[in-house]
Amino acid sequence: MTTKYDRIMGAFLGCAIGDAMGAPTETRPIALIKEHVGGGDYVRDYCLPLPDTLSAGQPKGQFTDDFSVSYLSARAFARAGGITRQAATDALIEWSSYDRYYINHSGPTSKRAIALCKGEPVDDAQDYACCRNAWATNGAGMKAWVAGVFNSGNLDKAIDDAILMCQVSHDNPVALSAACAVAAGVAAGMAQNSTVADVVKAGLYGAREGYARSWRFARSSAGASVEQRIRMAVTIGTCYAHDFDRLLQEMTDIVGTGLNANEAIPAAFGFFVAAQGRVMDGVYMGVNCGNDTDTVAAITGALCGAFSGAGEIPPQHLPFLSEVNDMDIRQAVEEVDRVTG
């Protein structure tokens, strides 16, 4: 039997490995990942980022925003005894004090939110617009797995907590729909005896509910449906599970694997299905799928890890990533395990 601790550890490690391994492949299309980063093949290990990537200058295994924001948020929630808006805000501000994350890795939507939280001036030239469609990014979905980990088996609470957690930075229905899909998918995966289909159904439910619930108060945005794109991604994941080349190409070409919330998050669900929840398989898909690879790999890793636990993750990843990034991941997992009863 897989324990709750083991599933929390799986989600943490899945996200961490995906983020760190995807950092050097980020922004490239599949062909150039193989050519420039993987020495002619797919990337299946930590690499040194090239000078033309966002992670240039970082050592092998260093995180970008995806895991670092998630980690600091999870620890803040553990300290607060649960997910609160205040703790989410505190974590975001704390995160922005780390130059190695904030300077190269703050996405457009998070950057603005942090400035607002700090009372700093922001560009308000388009504040008149009823919709801010460019803000519907994947920065909420990348960290929302934490809300799933805190709410094993409780989809509705995971959805509400994901909104609470992510509204600070991504106050629009498309980004929050994606966040709630991830939170609900992880919450379903955390439950004992859950199946791959349970996680997918929970993701679809989260996407739908997240959109509907947040529409009532969030700043509106127009954009393709996260829920429908999850359906497309799961179809592709099912059809091409046994053809790695085709799986990755179809996913990035049709669903998309980019900065927008309605690309990266659906793609992660598609890879979760193709990998049948196996952590390393899912992570490798994300790392090599092109475009916003680190985020897709991080979310896929978290979904898979919550579902499968950390049991099959090779043991060297935890000490390696903890050391390179100067983070006590094991302690964070213990804190979350304790506070979630």
Partner 1 sequence: MIAYDKILGCLVGAAAGDAMGAATEIRTRAQIHELFGGDVRTFEKPPKDTFARGSEPGQVTDDFSVAYVTARAIADNGGAVTGEVAKQALLEWSGVEKWFARFAGPTTRAHVAALKGEAVPAADGFVPVNENGQSTNGAAMKSAPIALFSGGDLDKAIADALTVCRLTHSNQIALSGAAAVAAATAAALREGATLFDVVQAGLYGAREGERLGGAVHTNAGASVEKRMKMAIAIGLFAHDMDEAIDQIGAYIGSGLMAAEAVPAVFGLMVAAKGDTLEAICGGVNIGDDTDTVATMIGGILGALNGAGSMPAEYLPYLERQNGIELEQLARDVKALADRG
Between 93 and 254, whose beta carbon lies closer to partner 1? 254
Q: Does 237 bind partner 1 (CB under 8 A)?
A: no
Q: Does 27 bind partner 1 (CB under 8 A)?
A: yes
Binding partner 1 (rule: CB under 8 A), the pick from 52, 120, 123, 124 is 52
Q: Does 252 bind partner 1 (CB under 8 A)?
A: yes
Alpha-carbon separation of residue 205 from 36, 218, 275 (angstroms): 39, 19, 21
Q: Does 129 bind partner 1 (CB under 8 A)?
A: yes
For the four alpha carbons of 62, 85, 147 and 203, in that order, the dihedral sign comes to: negative
Binding partner 1 (rule: CB under 8 A), the pick from 3, 32, 116, 319 is 32
Please report how close the Cβ of residue 224 comes to partner 1 at its closest, in angstroms.
Answer: 3
Answer yes or no: are the C-beta atoms of 53 and 23 closer than 8 Å: yes
- Which DSSP letter does residue 102 get? H
- Span from 73-81, 90-98, 221-229, 320-328 in contact with partner 1 (CB under 8 A): 221-229
Q: Distance between CA atoms of 336 and 77, rounded to whole angstroms? A: 8
Q: Does 18 bind partner 1 (CB under 8 A)?
A: no
Binding partner 1 (rule: CB under 8 A), the pick from 2, 154, 220, 276 is 220
Q: Does the annotation flag 235 for ligand binding?
A: no
Q: Does 239 bind partner 1 (CB under 8 A)?
A: no
Per-residue x/- mask for partner 1, residues 102 to 121, rule CB under 8 A?
--------------------
Q: Does the annotation flag 328 for ligand binding?
A: no
CB atoms near residue 97 (< 10 Å): 10
Q: Does the annotation flag 161 for ligand binding?
A: no
Phi and psi angles of residue 131, each rounded to the nearest 5 degrees, phi first: -130, 140
235 burial (CB, 10 Å; 0-12 / 13-18 / 19+) is middle
Q: Does 250 bind partner 1 (CB under 8 A)?
A: yes
Q: Does 238 bind partner 1 (CB under 8 A)?
A: no
Answer yes or no: are the C-beta atoms of 71 and 79 closer than 8 Å: no
Between 237 and 256, whose beta carbon lies closer to partner 1? 256
Give SS3 for 260.
Answer: strand
Q: Does 153 bind partner 1 (CB under 8 A)?
A: no
Q: Does 224 bind partner 1 (CB under 8 A)?
A: yes
| Token output for 78 | 């553990």
| Token output for 95 | 């995160």
Answer yes or no: are the C-beta atoms of 263 and 226 closer than 8 Å: no
Q: Report CA 32 to chain centroid distance, whole Å.
A: 23
Task: Read off the amino acid at residue 251.
Answer: M
Please report how close the Cβ of residue 37 comes to partner 1 at its closest, in angstroms.
Answer: 10
Between 168 and 298, whose beta carbon lies closer to partner 1? 298
Q: Does the annotation flag 99 for ligand binding?
A: no
Q: Distance between CA atoms of 16 and 51, rounded to whole angstroms? A: 22
- Which DSSP letter does residue 134 get? G
Q: Does 209 bind partner 1 (CB under 8 A)?
A: no
User: Of 114, 200, 185, which is closest to residue 147 (Cα–Cα)?
Assistant: 185
Q: Does the annotation flag 294 for ligand binding?
A: yes
CA atoms within 13 A on the CB side of 197: 0
Q: What residues line the site for partner 1 (CB under 8 A)?
A: 27-32, 36, 50, 52-54, 56, 128-131, 133-134, 220-225, 227-229, 232, 250, 252-260, 262-263, 290-292
Annotated binding site for Mg(2+): 64-66, 292, 294-295
